[in-house]
Structure 1
C-alpha cells in the first residue's frame, strides 16, 4: 500500500507539474500575443517590475486622454459638412482688422455663428442624455437661446436698445411662426395618413404665459402713446422694470412647476407610442461624455460671444452697405441664425412623430425669451444705466400680439397637420415683408455709445 501511495503521489505530482508547466506556457503565449513587452517584464527583477508598470500606466493614460480629445474634436467639428462655415469667424475678425467693410464683417460673422449655434444645440442634446427629459428640454431651450442673449448683451452694452428689443422680438416670432410652422409642415407631410397629436394642457399653459408677456409689453406702449404717464418719461420706465421683476418671478414659478409637477411633459401623449419611442430611444446613445459636453458648451459659448461683438458693431454699417433696414436685420436675420439648431431639431422630432418635443423646443423657447430674456435685459440695462424698457413701440407690439393669438388658436385643438404649418409659414412671410419696409422714427433710433 505504501508503494502504491507513493507511486500515486508521484503520478499526481507529475501531473500537477505538467499542468502548471502547460498553464505557464499558455499564459506566456497569451501574454506574448496580447503584449510582447510583458515577457520582458516577467523576466525582469522584482524591483524593476513596479517601476515599469507605473510608467506604462502613465503612457497609456496620456495616450487615452489625447485619443479621447482628438476623437471629441473629430465628432464635434468634423462630423458635419456645415461646420466648414466655422472658418468664416476668423475671416470676419481678419476683415475687420484689415478693412472697414462692415457688410462683409457682418455677413462673415453671421455665417460663422450658424454652425456654432447648431453645435451648441447638439452639445446640449448630448448633455440631456445624462440629465433626463425634463431637465434636457429646459437645457435645450436655454442654450438654444444663448446666441440671442449674448448678442443682446453686447448690443445693450453699446447702447443699441432698439436692436436688443427687435432681436428678442424676432426670436419669439421666428420660433412661433417659422420653427413651429416648419415642424407642423414637415411632420404633417411625413405622417399625412394621420393627424398628429400633442399635449394640449402644456400648449395652453405656454400660450397663457405668452399672453402674459404680451400684457407686459402692451401696457408701457399704451401708456406712452396715450400720453397718460403720471411722470412723463419716468413712469413708463418704472412700470417696465416693475413688470420685468414680476415676469421673472412668474417664470421662476413656471420652472418650479415644470420640474416638480410635469415630470413627463416631454413624453409622447399616446401610451402605445411611448413603448415604441422607449425602444427607439434605447438605441440612441451619447456620442461624448457628460464632462466633454459641458466643456464644449463653454468653448462654443465663448466663441459665440467673441463673434457677437463683431456682429453687433457691424450692424449699422451693414444696413447702409446692403441697403436693408436695421429692423429687418434685427427681427429676421439675427434670429434665424440664432434659431438654426432649434429649427433643425424641431423639424427632426416632428418627422419622428415626437411632436411634444417639437413644441417644447419652439414654444418653450418663445416662452423663455418673452418671460425671461426680455425682462432679464431690462434688469441688466437697469444695472448698467441703460434705459431699456418694455415699450417695444406700437408696430412691434401689435405684431407680437397678433402672432400669439394666431398660434394660440392653432394649438387649442391639440392636433397638427401640414396645413396648419403652411399657415404659420405664410404668416411669417407677411411679418418679414412688413419689417422689410418698416423703419423707426429718428426720435427713437439708436445712438450707440462707445464703452
Structure 2
C-alpha cells in the first residue's frame, strides 16, 4: 500500500504515464493562462493608452484649451457668432467677440512661447515679435479692408497707451506693494533703447499731422500720404535693426562694458538655472496650435469689426472711446496679467519687455506694417493720427521715459501711471472725432 501510494504520487506528478493526472495538471495552467490573457494584456493596453494620452494630441488639447483658467471665456466666441446671425444686436456681438478673443490671444502667446523652446533665442525673438501683437494686426487688417482707417489708428494708439500707462502702472504698483522692503531695479540701458524707439515713432507720426494742420503740403492731399509711406519703410528698417541689436549685439553687453557680475546677480542666475522651464507640448503641436488659433482669431475679428459701429450706437459711446480704451484693455488682458505676475516676482526686466516692448513693437512695426498693407490694398492709410491723438501719444511717451530714466520702480510711480491713464480715458470719453472713417 505504501508503494502504491508512492506510485500514485509519482503518477500524479507525471504528465505522460497517467492520462487523468495529465489532463488535470494541464487544466490548471490553462485556467491560469486564460485569466492572465484576460488581465495582463488589458493592463498593458490601459497603460499604453494612458501614455498615449499623456504624450499625444489629447494631452495637447487639454494643456492648450482646458488647463488655463482663462479658457472659461472660450465659449463666448461661438456665442458671438450665434448672436450675429440670430439676433443681429451689435452691442452683444461686439462684447462677446471681445471676451472670446481674450483667451485666444493669451493662448497664442503661450504657443509662441512653447515654440521658442525649440527654435532658440534668435528665431524665438523674431517669433515673439511677429505673434506678440498678432491680434492687433489681424483686427487692423480686417478694419483696413472695410476702409475703417480711423478705427485702425485709434485701436493701435490705444494699445500703446494701455501698455505704457495701465499695464506698466499696475505692474509697478503691485510689485512695489509686494516688495516694499527693497528697491526694485531694472536694466536702464534696455529701457533707454525702447524709449528712444518710442520717441522716433512719435516723430514719424507727428510730422504728417503737423504738415496737415499747418497746410504746408507741397501737393495737397498727397504729400502727407507719401511722407507716411516713406516714414513707415524707414520705421520697419529701424525695427529690424533693433531686433538684430537685441538678439545679437546685446548678448555681449557685459563683455563690452567690462562689468563684473555682483553676488546678487550670480545668485539670481543660479536660481534661474534651477527654475529652468521645459516645454509642455512638442514643436509640431506648437506650430499646429499657432495656425489654429490665428485662424480662429481672424474669424472672430471679422465679427468684431463689423459690430464696432453698431456697439457705439447702441451703447451711446463715442467710437474713439471704444477704439482707444475698451478694445485695447480687453486685447491686452493677457499681457496685463503676465506683467503684474513678473513684477510681483521682482523680475522687472521681463515686465518692461512685456509692457514697453509691446508698445515698441506696435509703434515701430505694427503701425508702419498697416500703412504698407493699406498701400498694397489701395487704402489711404497714413501716419496722420490727428492732433488730439498725436498729442496724447507724445505726452505719454515723455511721462513714461521720465519715470524710467533712473532704473528703479516703486508703487508711487505705478499709481502715477494709472492716474495718468484715467485722465487719458476721460479725455477720449469727451472727445468728439470729427473725421470720417476714410479720412
TM-score of the aligned structures, taking structure 1 as reference length:
0.82
Give structure 1 stretches of 5+ with no counterpart.
1-28, 39-55
Paired residues, number = 395
Deviation at 1:272, TM superposition (A): 3.3
Equivalence for 1:297: 290
Equivalence for 2:19: none
After TM superposition, list the pairs within 5 Å mapping 1:226-305 onto structure 2: 226-263=214-251, 271-282=265-276, 284-305=277-298
SS in 2 for 1:78: helix
Q: Check 1:141–1:290 CA distance in 2 against 1; reply closer, same or farther (3 A cut).
A: same
Deviation at 1:246, TM superposition (A): 0.7
Equivalence for 2:258: none
Give structure 2 stretches of 5+ with no counterpart.
1-32, 254-260
CA deviations 1:373-413 (Å, max 9, x no partner) are 11010011011000000000000000000000001001110
Deviation at 1:140, TM superposition (A): 3.7
SS in 2 for 1:363: helix
Q: Check 1:277–1:127 CA distance in 2 against 1; reply closer, same or farther (3 A cut).
A: farther
Deviation at 1:137, TM superposition (A): 5.1
Q: Check 1:141–1:374 CA distance in 2 against 1; reply closer, same or farther (3 A cut).
A: same
Deviation at 1:132, TM superposition (A): 4.3
Equivalence for 1:446: 437
- 2:94 corresponds to which of 81, 101, 106: 106
SS in 1 for 2:74: helix
Q: Check 1:342–1:374 CA distance in 2 against 1; reply closer, same or farther (3 A cut).
A: same
Is the 2:116–2:124 contact (alpha carbons within 8 Å) kept by the matching residues of 1? yes
After TM superposition, list the pairs within 5 Å mapping 1:381-400 onto structure 2: 381-400=374-393
CA RMSD of aligned residues (A): 2.7
Equivalence for 1:11: none
Deviation at 1:129, TM superposition (A): 2.9
CA distance in 1, matches of 2:395, 2:243: 26
Is the 2:172–2:410 contact (alpha carbons within 8 Å) kept by the matching residues of 1? yes
CA deviations 1:12-61 (Å, max 9, x no partner) are xxxxxxxxxxxxxxxxx9xx89x9459xxxxxxxxxxxxxxxxx99x969
Equivalence for 1:155: 143
Q: Check 1:227–1:76 CA distance in 2 against 1; reply closer, same or farther (3 A cut).
A: same
Equivalence for 1:375: 368
Deviation at 1:121, TM superposition (A): 1.8
Equivalence for 1:203: 191
Deviation at 1:291, TM superposition (A): 2.0
Is the 1:114–1:337 contact (alpha carbons within 8 Å) kept by the matching residues of 2? yes
TM-score of the aligned structures, taking structure 2 as reference length:
0.84
CA distance in 2, matches of 1:124, 1:277: 24
After TM superposition, list the pairs within 5 Å mapping 1:107-186 onto structure 2: 107-132=95-120, 136=124, 139-186=127-174
